[in-house]
Amino acid sequence: MKAKSIDKAATLIICFFALLIVAVLIGLIGFILFRGISHISWDFLTSAPQTLRVGGGIGPQLFNSVFLLVLTLIITIPLGWGAGIYMAQYAKPGRLTDFIRLTVEVLSSFPSIIIGLFGLLLIVNTFNFGFSLLSGALALAVFNLPLMVRTTEQAFRSVPREQKEAGLALGLSKWKIITSIMLPVALPSLITGTILAAGRIFGEAAALLFTAGMTTPPLDFTDWNPLSPRSPINPMRPAETLAVHIWKVNSEGIAPDSAEIAAGASAVLVLLVLAFNLSARWLGKVVYKKMTAAKRMD
């Protein structure tokens, strides 16, 4: 009887804290959307910001955030997934492997401002990339690599051992086992890790202040030459992201409607993260079903 009472009490406490976390999340999102959604319009999403006049938008900053996300994931996913697969399937237990894991753990605990200063000294100044999208993407890749490596390694280690042994019994190579047997099983966890990394990219500001810069040159969206200084897809141009713009508007507050701009930009950023998460999960389910169906046909 006492054990049942303790079990019920523990269940109630756990449910209470779970509901509390959900309530805090809903309240936070609701507060941001309530303050900012009335300021969102097509002109706000597409026009350039104004420094001293009323009516500025977030068009370039919104594009910079999405483009920086794509550029960072292009760099991070191959490195993170490759390193995670190596640690899970190829690395032999020993001091070197333990040292690599320790390095990854230490790197994951670095504050983003330290990563930004590292990017400023090495990428911006030493490599002479300047304040640019590429500098920001490389800094964010360093920032997100530990998360990607850990989630990839754990995803492949969580695959049942029997499936791997079945592939070996069939005479399949290790790479064939990884791509055809283990990858479909590990894919949901890989997608979750990628979504978490993407969320950090959207919301990061401190590291980008020292790498991507706090300004955006006038962009010509009819010029898609990546070498043109006014081209939106030029990776070597400075790029103020949406998160940096929110910080800048709140800290400077020069425009008469700076509070409204910050509220609207915050709401757009929240909606952008939610839309990306939902889209990525939907795409992951579609890819997972197709890979599973192809595996069954084989």
Question: DSSP letters of 63-94?
Answer: HHHHHHHHHHHHHHHHHHHHHHHIIIIIPPSS
Count of all residues that appear for the chain in the document: 298
Going from N- to C-terminal start, the domains of the chain cover 40-297
Which residues neighbour 253 within 8 Å (Cβ) at sequence distance 6 or greater?
Answer: 259
pLDDT digits (tens, 9 = 90+) for 36-57: 888 888 888 888 888 777 777 8
Q: What is the pLDDT of residue 251?
A: 80
CATH code of the domain occupying 40-297: 1.10.3720.10
Query: By the 8 A CB rule, do 146 and 102 touch?
Result: no
Could you read off the pLDDT of 163-222 as tens digits, one per residue?
777 777 777 778 888 888 888 888 888 888 888 788 888 888 888 989 998 888 888 888
User: In the chain, which ranges are continuous DSSP H helix?
Assistant: 2-36, 42-46, 59-85, 95-108, 112-118, 133-157, 161-169, 174-177, 183-203, 206-209, 242-252, 258-297
DSSP 3-state assignment of 42? helix
- List average pLDDT for each run of 10 residues in the chain, which is 298 residues long: 79 92 91 88 86 80 91 91 88 83 82 89 91 92 88 86 78 81 83 82 87 87 84 90 88 78 89 83 74 64
**And the tokens for 121?**
């000294």
